[in-house]
Amino acid sequence: MNRSALAGIAVLVVAGLAALYFLVIKESPKATSEPAQTQATDTTGSGQRTGVGPALGSGTASRTPTIDPATPKDSTGFVVTDHRTAGSNVVIAPGSDAPPTRKLAPSLVGTLHRTAEPIMVGCANKVDPADRGPKPRIGADLVVAIHDGNLVVSDVTPVLKDLNGAQVEAVKTCVHDLMMNFTAPVPDEDDLDSYELHYQYVVR
């Protein structure tokens, strides 16, 4: 094979390598040293990305505060102060009894409300109209008990608003005496030692 033939073959090889470079190597995406970012999940329901951020921990490894007896500060940084006097006897009073969970039936409360209204308003009418304010009210705080199917009012505290004049005390006495020991049959109710009711009526 003569030199011209070898030169032709060499030119073809060089041309092929050049074509391979432009077609494969040069067209491939450039390598980058930047790490790929993970897109944050859309939690707004709008279809738009809410941003990119670092992964958060599960939160299961929370700190448990411990108190150092030598210094008045726990491991979370909160200062712990003991206001007791050294050597004193600290007595903690027991908490009050839990409030009663028993409630009267709404129908019974409503019946008592309607029954007491003419009694209390009748007492309030003793006050002269000239001695009444812009919004006169008459009412009472009642304590009732239920035993053997009977409801009894055991305590009455009259409550007056915008009622003035010399007849105020007479009105309070009227409400107290007429409502005290008021009784009503309640055969469907269980026994109840004490229950508070608060009633108030408009005086016209």
Share of the chain above pLDDT 70, in %: 51
d(CA 203, CA 171): 12
Q: Identify whether the C-beta of residue 157 lies closer than 8 Å to the C-beta of residue 200.
A: no
Claim: this prediction has a pTM higher than 0.85: no
Q: Would you say residue 177 lies in a domain? A: yes
Q: Per-residue pLDDT for 99 more than 50?
A: yes
Q: Would you say residue 196 lies in a domain? A: yes
pLDDT-derived band at 77 (thresholds 50, 70, 90) equals low
Q: Is the dihedral of CA 132, 133, 134, 138 positive or negative?
A: negative
| pLDDT top residue among 5 and 55 | 5
d(CA 134, CA 101): 38
Q: If you search the block for the tokens 């790490």, which residue do you land on?
A: 35
Q: Would you say residue 133 lies in a domain? A: yes
Q: How many structural domains are present in the chain?
A: 1
Q: Would you say residue 58 lies in a domain? A: no
H/E run at residue 16: helix 3-20
Q: Would you say residue 140 lies in a domain? A: yes
Q: Would you say residue 97 lies in a domain? A: no
pLDDT at 101: 63
pLDDT-derived band at 104 (thresholds 50, 70, 90) equals confident
**What is the extent of the structural domain holding 195?**
106-202
pLDDT at 103: 82
Q: How many CA atoms lie within 13 A of 113 on its CB side?
A: 14
Of the candidates 84, 63, 62, which has an alpha carbon nearest to the alpha carbon of residue 74? Answer: 63
CATH of the domain at 160: 3.30.1150
Q: What are phi and psi of 184, to 5 degrees?
A: -155, 140
Q: Per-residue pLDDT for 152 more than 70?
A: yes
Q: Would you say residue 170 lies in a domain? A: yes
pLDDT at 9: 72
d(CA 193, CA 181): 14
| pLDDT top residue among 36 and 187 | 187
Q: Would you say residue 154 lies in a domain? A: yes
pLDDT at 1: 56
Of the candidates 172, 61, 191, which has an alpha carbon nearest to the alpha carbon of residue 123? Answer: 172
Please write the tens of the pLDDT for every residue from 116-150.
Answer: 999 999 999 999 999 999 999 999 999 999 999 99
Please write the tens of the pLDDT for every residue from 172-192.
Answer: 999 999 999 899 999 989 999
Q: Per-residue pLDDT for 195 more than 70?
A: yes
Alpha-helix runs per DSSP H in 45-152: 106-124
